[in-house]
């Protein structure tokens, strides 16, 4: 077995050739990582000023840090004479393959970023999308968790929430309650209006502006259809609606105002 040895001339040539590249690579790595740290810190401060959700702040800072560090490492390796073109091409091809395989997840990821950034709803809001409704319990980067009034959990992909109409019942401080009431054709409309407005005005949860109102919306087959409209605070809505609907029934009965039910007259014709 032959002894492996390096002559002083070869060592000097190696140091002279490779030494500057190594120093440049190390300097690039040290300075680059320091700059990355400053940039990530600046991004964090900017996100704090923009009042972005904490989950999105952490994710965006991590994403920026990873991308910039990869660029620094690639630059440092390139200075050492390592050919990075093939590596970058392979990395790009792998990224494309992963992107095609995870199209749905990427759509949910993009939807999560949009929801956390623009905040069409937040944790604690009651929202409705299609046939799904509930209180927002948690917003992840991929899914939103809803708790239904029946204490069921619905996990909705963020891609669907970001690309379809969403009704946010908690977005506004006040909300209008609409009570559909039908009275008989022989009933006194003015009397019915007075009774129902009195019920609403006696409830301290009724907001004075806009003032409560009662309008006739339809001459139905069996009833005169009235729409009773009043405003209340969003947090009081359901209790306000249920209590006053029942109270209106009681007071209309006391006032002798008929609340009809569907009826049909049948005429029998007897042939000789």
CATH number of 223's domain: 3.30.70.100
Q: Which structural domain range is residue 191 located in?
A: 174-254
For residue 26, pLDDT beyond 90: no
38: in domain: yes
Distance from C-alpha of 184 to C-alpha of 101, rounded to nearest angstrom: 63
Closest CA to 252 of 214, 205, 198, 203: 198
Domain containing 53 — which CATH number? 1.10.287.1260
Write down the pTM of the prediction: 0.62
Tell me: do 206 and 134 sit in the same domain. no
CB atoms within 10 A of CB 40: 19
Q: Please tell me which residue, 160 or 267, carries the higher pLDDT value.
A: 160
Work out the mean pLDDT of the chain and round it to a whole number. 82
Last residue of a domain, one of 141, 168, 195: 168
115: in domain: no
**40-44, 49-53, 167-171, 211-215, range with the lowest pLDDT:** 49-53
For residue 128, pLDDT beyond 60: yes
23: in domain: yes
Which tokens go with 256? 């002798």
Tell me: do 196 and 233 sit in the same domain. yes
Tell me: do 37 and 93 sit in the same domain. yes
What pLDDT score was predicted for residue 102? Answer: 47
4: in domain: no
Q: Residues with Cβ < 8 Å from 142, sequence gap 6 or more?
A: 105, 108, 109, 112, 157, 158
What pLDDT score was predicted for residue 61? Answer: 73
Tell me: do 182 and 242 sit in the same domain. yes
Tell me: do 35 and 74 sit in the same domain. yes
Closest CA to 82 of 28, 30, 12, 21: 21
At CA 68, angle to CA 63 and CA 74, rounded to 5? 130
Domain containing 147 — which CATH number? 2.30.30.60
8: in domain: no
What's the mean pLDDT in 107-130? 84
Q: What percent of the chain has pLDDT over 70?
A: 78
Tell me: do 147 and 184 sit in the same domain. no
What's the mean pLDDT in 158-166? 87
What pLDDT score was predicted for residue 31? Answer: 84
What pLDDT score was predicted for residue 73? Answer: 78
- Give the pLDDT band of residue 98 (cuts 50, 70, 90): low
Q: Which tens digit of pLDDT belongs to each residue from 215-239? A: 999 998 888 999 999 999 999 999 9
Tell me: do 27 and 82 sit in the same domain. yes
What pLDDT score was predicted for residue 261? Answer: 73
110: in domain: no
127: in domain: yes
Tell me: do 190 and 213 sit in the same domain. yes
Long-range contacts (CB closer than 8 Å, 24 or more residues apart) made by 74-79:
75/28, 75/32, 76/25, 76/26, 76/28, 76/29, 76/32, 77/25, 79/21, 79/24, 79/25, 79/28
What pLDDT score was predicted for residue 65? Answer: 80
Q: What percent of the chain has pLDDT over 90?
A: 36
Domain count, the chain: 3
């Amino acid at each position: 077995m032959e002894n492996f040895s390096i002559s002083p001339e070869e060592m000097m040539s190696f140091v002279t050739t490779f030494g500057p590249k190594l120093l440049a690579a190390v300097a690039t790595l040290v300075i680059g990582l320091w700059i990355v740290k400053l940039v990530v810190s600046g991004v964090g401060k900017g996100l704090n000023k923009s009042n972005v959700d904490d989950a999105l702040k952490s994710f965006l800072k991590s994403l920026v840090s990873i991308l910039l560090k990869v660029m620094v490492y690639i630059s440092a390796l390139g200075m050492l004479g390592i050919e990075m073109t093939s590596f970058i091409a392979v990395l790009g091809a792998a990224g494309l393959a992963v992107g095609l395989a995870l199209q749905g997840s990427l759509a949910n990821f993009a939807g999560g970023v949009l929801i956390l950034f623009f905040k069409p709803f937040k944790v604690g809001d009651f929202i409705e999308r299609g046939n799904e409704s509930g209180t927002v319990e948690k917003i992840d980067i991929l899914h939103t968790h809803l708790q239904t009034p029946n204490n069921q959990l619905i996990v909705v992909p963020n891609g669907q929430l970001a690309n379809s109409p969403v009704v946010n019942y908690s977005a506004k401080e006040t909300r209008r309650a609409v009570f559909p009431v039908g009275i008989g054709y022989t009933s006194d409309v003015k009397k019915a209006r007075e009774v129902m407005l009195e019920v609403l005005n006696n409830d301290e949860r009724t907001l004075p502006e806009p003032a409560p109102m009662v309008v006739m919306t339809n001459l139905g087959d069996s009833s005169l259809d009235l729409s009773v409209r009043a405003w209340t605070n969003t947090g009081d809505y359901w209790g306000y609606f249920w209590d006053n609907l029942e109270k209106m029934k009681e007071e209309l009965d006391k006032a002798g105002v008929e609340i009809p039910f569907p009826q049909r007259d049948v005429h029998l014709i007897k042939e000789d």
